[in-house]
Amino acid sequence: EIVLTQSPGTLSLSPGERATLSCRASQSVSSSYLAWYQQKPGQAPRLLIYGASTRATGIPDRFSGSGSGTDFTLTISRLEPEDFAVYYCQQYGSSPTWTFGQGTLVEIK
Amino acid sequence: QVHVVQSGAEVKKPGASVKVSCKASEYTFTSYAMHWVRQAPGQGLEWMGWINAANGDTKYSQKFQGRVTFTRDTSASTAYMELSSLRSEDTAVYYCAREVVLYAFDIWGQGTMVTVSS
């Protein structure tokens, strides 16, 4: 089973700053099957990025995804107040199975 | 507006079973698979498995195999998750989520809190 490790665990930034979140897989993942989600307290997750780099419907262009193989990145170009949340990466693998990373908290500095 | 609505919070005793429903609206229920994901308090997301809404085929995470059952009622556009032999570690919010292109989950239910306590 593929394990996804996200780093850092917590990212402390100010509004307007750039956020770079990492998701590393224990073995190569098809970039087509890597997604990112945002979750705010008390809410369900929201799909941000699928296929490693395609923004979901209605997602602002300050969110971007990149990467391939075992290393993937979610970048928020300029943090808005509503972007402070927990972010999860997710991959689809053979069997079929789905796996989530443990999450990165983006908090206000 | 496409959405899914889950049943309300449940409190169960250890050893009991719980059944959570997930009703889909404003889309063709049988055209998409439905997944179940849970989140223990203060923890991350854990995939439990999925059901093919068209034919009822299921795939369960190995962790829950033998204890979880997914079903669906196509006439009601509703998916169900039943978890048996509950223990305190099953206390969590349970989500259903629709699978779309490239195996991502675009529509999530609001979550159902299941509390297991004696």
User: Mean per-residue pLDDT for A23-39?
Assistant: 93
Q: Determine whether the interchain pair B95/A44 forms a contact, defined as Cβ–Cβ distance below 8 Å.
A: yes
Give the CA distances from residue A27 to residues A4, A36, A90, A96, in Å, rounded to whole numbers and listed in that order.
9, 18, 14, 16
> Tens of pLDDT along A35-76?
999 999 999 999 999 999 999 999 999 999 999 999 999 999
Q: What is residue A32's predicted lDDT score, i.e. its pLDDT?
A: 86
**Contact predicate B83/B68, CB 8 Å:** yes
Q: Determine whether the interchain pair A47/B104 forms a contact, defined as Cβ–Cβ distance below 8 Å.
A: yes
Could you give the CA distance from residue A46 to residue A15 in angstroms, rounded to a whole number?
21
Locate B106 and state its tokens. 């675009």
| Burial label, A54 (beta-carbon count in 10 A; 0-12, 13-18, 19+) | middle
Residue corresponding to tokens 């780093």: A7
Q: Determine whether the interchain pair B106/A33 forms a contact, defined as Cβ–Cβ distance below 8 Å.
A: no
**Contact predicate B64/B48, CB 8 Å:** yes
Q: What is residue B95's predicted lDDT score, i.e. its pLDDT?
A: 98
Q: What is residue B49's predicted lDDT score, i.e. its pLDDT?
A: 97
Q: Which of residues 44-103 of B touch A (CB under 8 A)?
A: 44-47, 50, 59, 61, 95, 97, 100-103
Smallest CA–CA distance, residue A23 to chain B, in Å, is 14
Q: What is residue A1's predicted lDDT score, i.e. its pLDDT?
A: 84
Each residue's pLDDT expressed in tens, for chain B with a length of 118 residues: 999 999 999 999 999 999 999 999 999 999 999 999 999 999 999 999 999 999 999 999 999 999 999 999 999 999 999 999 999 999 999 999 999 988 999 999 999 999 999 9
Which residues, in sequence order, are CB contacts of A41 under 8 Å at separation 6+? Answer: none
Q: What is residue A90's predicted lDDT score, i.e. its pLDDT?
A: 97
Closest Cβ opposite residue B103 in set A46, A92, A102:
A92
Q: Kindly list the residues from chain A whose CB atom is less than 8 angstroms away from the CB atom of residue B59.
A: 95-97
Could you give the CA distance from residue A44 to residue B104 in angstroms, rounded to a whole number?
14
Q: What is residue B101's predicted lDDT score, i.e. its pLDDT?
A: 85
What's the maximum distance between 2 C-alpha atoms anywhere in chain A?
Answer: 42
User: Mean per-residue pLDDT for A2-22?
Assistant: 97
